[in-house]
Amino acid sequence: MKKKPEIKNAIVLMFDTLQFNYVGAYGNSWIQTPWMDRLAKEGTLFENFYVEGLPTIPCRRAMQTGRYTLPVSGWVPLNMEDTTIADLCWGRPIDTALIFDCPQYRLPKFGYTRSFDQVMFTHGHEADDAYFENDDLNLYDWKDYVEDHTLDAYCEKYGTKVMENAVRDEINNYLRQRQYYGDEESRYVFKTISNAIEYLEKADRGKQFFMWIDSFDPHEPWDPPSVWDPKTPCMYDPDYKGKDMFLPCAELVDGLYTEEELHHIRMLYAEMVTVCDRQLGRLMKAIHKLGYDENTMLWMVSDHGQPLGNGEHGHGLMRKCRPWPYEELAHAPSIIRVPGAKAGQRISSFIQSVDVAPTVCAWLGIGIHPDMQGKNLLPLIFGEVDKVRDFAIAGYFDYSWSIITEDWSYIHWLQPDEDGKVMRLKFYRGNIDGSHLEATGGKGKMMAHLQDALEEATGINLAEERHKKNATTDGAAQWTCTPAATSEVPTKDELYNRKTDPFQLKNVADQNPKIALELLQKLKGFMAELRSS
Question: Could you read off the pLDDT of 96-132 as tens digits, one per residue?
Answer: 999 999 998 888 889 999 999 999 999 988 888 888 8
What pairing do the DSSP bridges indicate for beta strands 9-15 and 331-332?
Answer: unpaired
**Mean pLDDT, residues 233-262:** 97
Q: Cβ of 241: how many Cβ atoms within 10 Å? A: 6
For the domain 9-404, what is the CATH code?
Answer: 3.40.720.10
Residues 347-395 have pLDDT tens digits of: 999 999 999 999 999 999 999 999 999 999 999 999 999 999 999 999 9
Residue 426: pLDDT band by 50, 70, 90 thresholds? very low
- Average the pLDDT over 340-347 and give the result: 98
Cis omega (within 30 of 0) for bond into 218: yes
Category of 408 on φ-ψ map: left (φ > 0), alpha (ψ -120 to 50) or beta: beta
CB 47 within 8 A of CB 27: no
Tens digits of residue pLDDT in 296-306: 999 999 999 99
Q: How far is CA 494 from CA 125, 287, 400, 414, 500, in A?
A: 35, 45, 11, 12, 15
Look at residue 485 and tell me whether its pLDDT is greater than 90: no
Residue 487: pLDDT band (50, 70, 90) is confident
Work out the average pLDDT over 190-210. Answer: 97
How large is the angle between the packed helices 34-42 and 259-289, nearest 10 degrees?
50
Phi, psi (deg, nearest 5) at residue 329: -110, -50
Domain ranges for the chain: 9-404, 408-415+489-532
Tell me the pLDDT band of 442, cut-offs 50, 70 and 90.
low
Q: Which pLDDT does position 421 carry in this prediction?
A: 41
**ω into residue 224 within 30 of 0, thus cis?**
no
Q: pLDDT band at residue 429, thresholds of 50, 70 and 90?
A: very low
Non-local (6+) Cβ contacts of 182 within 8 A are none
Using pLDDT thresholds of 50, 70 and 90, give the confidence band for residue 518: very high
Secondary structure E strands in 146-301 = 208-215, 296-301
pLDDT score, position 182: 72
CB 136 within 8 A of CB 115: no
**pLDDT at 437 (0 to 100):** 56
CA–CA distances in Å: residue 415 to residues 231, 386, 490: 50, 37, 8
> Quick one: pLDDT at residue 419?
37
pLDDT of residue 129: 81
Closest Cα partner for 325 from 386, 226, 276, 395? 395
pTM > 0.85: yes
**Mean per-residue pLDDT over the chain, rounded:** 89
Amino acid at 413: W
- Calculate mean pLDDT across residues 74-83: 93
pLDDT at 460 over 60: no
Q: Is 458 a residue whose pLDDT tops 70?
A: no
